[in-house]
A and B are shown apart, each in its own frame.
Chain A
Amino acid sequence: MQRPSIKAAALFGALLLIVLGAALVSRGSGPAGEGASDSVATPEASAGKARGATGSANAAGSGQPQEATPKEDVLPMPGCWEGVGEFDKDTSLDNFRQALASAVGAGDRELAQYLQERLTELIGGDTRRALQVLDWAEKSQQPELGVFMEALKDAAAVHDPKVVERLLKMGEDPGAQLVNRAAALDTLESQKSLSAANIQRLKAVAMDVSTDSAGWVATRTLGRVMKEDYERTGNFAPYWKELMDIGEKSEDMAVRLLALEMPSYSNPIIGGDSIERLSTIMRKDKERDVREMAAFRLAVTETPEKALEAYRTAFPAEQDECVRWAIFRFAVRAGGAQALPLLAQMAAQDPRFLQDYQDFQKLYASGAVDFVRIWLGKEERHQCLVEEGAPH
């Protein structure tokens, strides 16, 4: 890895407390653990008992005489509450946080989810209420922060320019906690579109190494709004231009990878002008996962023949078998049966792909034409199930 290790630690360390469920459990775990202590084993005890435990080599149907009985699961069990019906009728911003405190204190995820959805209903299209919730969020930590922001994300008021501006400012604020910045940027993912200026603001956060988790979320939000805008209006180019820039230039591998991944969720047909840049990433990025993602991205373009040429050039130059396998299969996604001569060429260059070539040949000969179905019939023959760096 070229990336400083502190970067990764910061990126994910910053996100550590973001997940609502984790925080809910952590607050509820004391009494819960006590209540369920009969069925919870410590990791040490479990591991100790595991050694030499029966368990079968191929247990299903293998005829092993004995099989260890699994530990008794601690199944999730939501709580019950008096007063929810009355609260539901009289929900207000005044009594909301007190109710949420009860849910959080009890570790009741279902109740917290209800309160989040009820808050969305309460905010509705009311900008004043939305800004009030943002006031709370600014001073909150998880899990309350997640409830406030997720509620706002789904409320109509999130589209109000004043709310959008406030969210962007929270996301950009270098003095704020990264977890709050990330949550604010995540809340913007329900926007129907982003102005050119706001795209640039998100990109700036994404490209700033110091933003860590917030930058990663900013990248995802760019991609998610791109999906929404593209599906509604056909517009994707302004987002994709910046995502490709991030995919080329970010110093953080996770952010580069994500930027190139995001079109997967809406499949815009990439213009011919992107092919050269994607080809360069596919050949030159120092991380194999990013090179693979660039190969992935090249498969849905306006000019599949240019993509096939890019694959033809990249394949012999690539040293990693798994990236070669990506180039090979995405050539098929780009060209269909017309890619078979190229596959034959690749198989001649690297005999490890001869069986793959024959597989695709047979699948197309069977009458299938849709790559989705071709892929369903394709056996995966390369040891790429687990990533580089394995075993782990």
Chain B
Amino acid sequence: MSPHSREGMTRMNRPSRWRVALLASAAWLLPVTASAAGNEPPLRATTCSFTGMLDELRAALKTGSPAYRKYVKERLKMAARVMPAEELLAAVQRERDPDVLEALGGAVAGKASFSEDASLLQPLLARAASDSDPALRAAAVRGLKGIGSVDAMGKNGNVVTYEQLIRDSAPEVRQAVVENLVHENAKVYFGHDQTVSETAVATALASRDPEAAAKLLSEVSMEQVGHETVEKLRGNLRTDHPGLRAASATALGGVPGAEAASTRRSLVDLYRTDKDPAVRKAALQGIARLGMGGASTTLESLRGVAPGMDAEIDAWQSALRLGLQEWHLVLREKERIRE
């Protein structure tokens, strides 16, 4: 069936603002269809309907080119801003295909962010938390990616939270949670939001999946976290999982300046006592980050503690001697030297 069949068009029969917008859109197309009518154009303008767009989305996601898949998702997002919410939310509630649900979720999330109405997310949150199919739960979580989802969950009364979702039995759901939080921290807030950072730490600590927790702790910015969160991270340096200890050390390297002195002492202790090379490497990085040019003496004092790590200390010392004042540049130069 054509994605924009007559059946689809007849379903759009409400005199709403949404319909007016569609008619306006269709009106743009009239001169083109008229002028190109004799040449059998490959594309023919038609009236938009939600059903038609959804049918086309479903087909394109199955067999379309990457460009086509992106197009149908983007068009749905744009249309979702204009159309009434009911039809869209009903589709979110009943959809059984994970790829389509993710696209519908993205459209709903985009509409919620555009209209500043977090309540629109409730059906999506419900599916993320409660659907019996883990692939659909994961798709619903992925639908939230790219918006201020932590803030939106709060506005929905924290009925569904990432701390809850990270305990899902399905790894794909946990992975989606981690990706949302890492993305939101880096691309929506650029690491500057205290609530997102602290939510990421709380989610990591709530997780029974050490890999997921480690990814959260090592990749989310700690720039704005409060003292209580720093203490939680410090406590995590004693967990059994070495990857988690290393991630906690990495996270502690990024805490606010007011926490630097005591954190540095914790990381020095960690370096001296932990036998795991990855943990020691993360401790050195944390020490370098907290002190930058001022960390040289501390780093030098650790030479010989673990002879296998002395080359790492050398690399940090060389990078710090460049006198760069921005951590991202120091880290970049250190990686160049070390590898």
- Cα distance A50–B29 in the bound complex, in angstroms: 33
* From B26, B325, B328, contact of A334 by CB (8 A): B325
B67 contacts A121, C-beta separation under 8 Å? yes
A79 contacts B28, C-beta separation under 8 Å? yes
* From A35, A95, A114, contact of B71 by CB (8 A): A114
- Cα distance A87–B64 in the bound complex, in angstroms: 10
- Cα distance A95–B39 in the bound complex, in angstroms: 11
Q: Which residues of chain A have C-beta atoms less than 8 A from B153's C-beta?
A: none
Q: Which residues of chain A have C-beta atoms less than 8 A from B259's C-beta?
A: 367
Q: A interface, by DSSP: helix, strand, loop or mixed?
A: helix
The reply to whether the CB of B90 lies closer than 8 angstroms to some CB of chain A is: no
The reply to whether the CB of A110 lies closer than 8 angstroms to some CB of chain B is: yes
Q: Which residues of chain B have C-beta atoms less than 8 A from A89's C-beta?
A: 63
- Cα distance A108–B3 in the bound complex, in angstroms: 18
The reply to whether the CB of A366 lies closer than 8 angstroms to some CB of chain B is: yes
**Size band of the B side of the interface?**
35 or more
B42 contacts A98, C-beta separation under 8 Å? yes
A114 contacts B28, C-beta separation under 8 Å? no
Q: Which residues of chain A have C-beta atoms less than 8 A from B53's C-beta?
A: 80
**Residue among B28, B39, B70 with max Cβ neighbours from chain A (10 Å):** B28
The reply to whether the CB of A390 lies closer than 8 angstroms to some CB of chain B is: no
Query: Which residue on chain A has the smallest CB distance to residue B75?
Result: A78
The reply to whether the CB of B85 lies closer than 8 angstroms to some CB of chain A is: no
A79 contacts B29, C-beta separation under 8 Å? yes
B257 contacts A82, C-beta separation under 8 Å? no
* From A34, A36, A87, contact of B43 by CB (8 A): A87
- Cα distance A99–B23 in the bound complex, in angstroms: 22
- Cα distance A250–B78 in the bound complex, in angstroms: 43
Known: A82-B44, A99-B41, A370-B292. A333 touches B28 (CB 8 A): no
The reply to whether the CB of A125 lies closer than 8 angstroms to some CB of chain B is: no
Known: A99-B42, A102-B32, A102-B45. A117 touches B257 (CB 8 A): no
The reply to whether the CB of A376 lies closer than 8 angstroms to some CB of chain B is: yes
B325 contacts A110, C-beta separation under 8 Å? no
* 0 or 1 for each of B170-200: is its CB under 8 Å from A? (1 = yes): 0000000000000000000000100000000
* From A75, A85, A333, contact of B59 by CB (8 A): A85
B24 contacts A77, C-beta separation under 8 Å? yes
Q: Which residues of chain A have C-beta atoms less than 8 A from B294's C-beta?
A: 369
B223 contacts A77, C-beta separation under 8 Å? no
- Cα distance A111–B44 in the bound complex, in angstroms: 12
- Cα distance A338–B325 in the bound complex, in angstroms: 10
**Size band of the A side of the interface?**
35 or more
The reply to whether the CB of B260 lies closer than 8 angstroms to some CB of chain A is: yes
The reply to whether the CB of B48 lies closer than 8 angstroms to some CB of chain A is: yes
Q: Which residues of chain A have C-beta atoms less than 8 A from B192's C-beta?
A: 376
Q: Which residues of chain B have C-beta atoms less than 8 A from A99's C-beta?
A: 41-43
* 0 or 1 for each of B310-329: is its CB under 8 Å from A? (1 = yes): 00000000000011111111
A32 contacts B28, C-beta separation under 8 Å? yes
Q: Which residues in chain A, 210-264, are within 8 Å of chain B measured between CB atoms?
A: 234
Known: A106-B32, A373-B257. A81 touches B45 (CB 8 A): yes
* From B36, B44, B79, contact of A101 by CB (8 A): B36
Known: A77-B24, A269-B322, A336-B293. A83 touches B78 (CB 8 A): no
Query: Which residue on chain B has the smallest CB distance to residue A299?
Result: B325
A83 contacts B48, C-beta separation under 8 Å? no
The reply to whether the CB of B336 lies closer than 8 angstroms to some CB of chain A is: yes
B67 contacts A114, C-beta separation under 8 Å? yes
A78 contacts B326, C-beta separation under 8 Å? no
The reply to whether the CB of A88 lies closer than 8 angstroms to some CB of chain B is: yes
Known: A76-B78, A88-B68. A83 touches B44 (CB 8 A): yes
The reply to whether the CB of B268 lies closer than 8 angstroms to some CB of chain A is: no
CB distance from A307 to the nearest CB of B (A): 10
Query: Which residue on chain A has the smallest CB distance to residue B258?
Result: A367
CB distance from A33 to the nearest CB of B (A): 9
Q: Which residues in chain A, 327-372, are within 8 Å of chain B measured between CB atoms?
A: 332-336, 338, 366-372
Q: Which residues of chain A have C-beta atoms less than 8 A from B70's C-beta?
A: 114, 117
The reply to whether the CB of B22 lies closer than 8 angstroms to some CB of chain A is: yes
CB distance from B60 to the nearest CB of A (A): 7
Q: Which residues of chain A have C-beta atoms less than 8 A from B4's C-beta?
A: 80-82
- Cα distance A366–B257 in the bound complex, in angstroms: 6
* 0 or 1 for each of B29-63: is its CB under 8 Å from A? (1 = yes): 11110011001011111111100110010011001
Known: A76-B78, A95-B42. A102 touches B36 (CB 8 A): yes
Q: Which residues of chain A have C-beta atoms less than 8 A from B24's C-beta?
A: 32, 35-36, 77
The reply to whether the CB of A273 lies closer than 8 angstroms to some CB of chain B is: no
The reply to whether the CB of B65 lies closer than 8 angstroms to some CB of chain A is: yes
Q: Which residues in chain A, 361-392, are within 8 Å of chain B measured between CB atoms?
A: 366-373, 376
> Apart from A88-B64, A99-B41, A370-B326, what 5 extra A-B contacts exist at CB < 8 Å?
A36-B24, A84-B56, A101-B41, A111-B43, A114-B67
The 10 A-B pairs of least Cβ separation, nearest first, read A367-B257, A368-B257, A35-B24, A35-B27, A117-B67, A114-B71, A105-B32, A80-B48, A371-B325, A336-B325
6 A-B pairs whose Cβ atoms sit less than 8 Å apart in the complex = A78-B75, A98-B41, A113-B71, A336-B292, A336-B325, A338-B293
| A residues adjacent to B (C-beta < 8 A) | 28, 30-32, 34-36, 75-89, 91, 95, 98-99, 101-103, 105-108, 110-111, 113-114, 117-118, 120-121, 234, 267, 269, 300, 302, 304-305, 332-336, 338, 366-373, 376
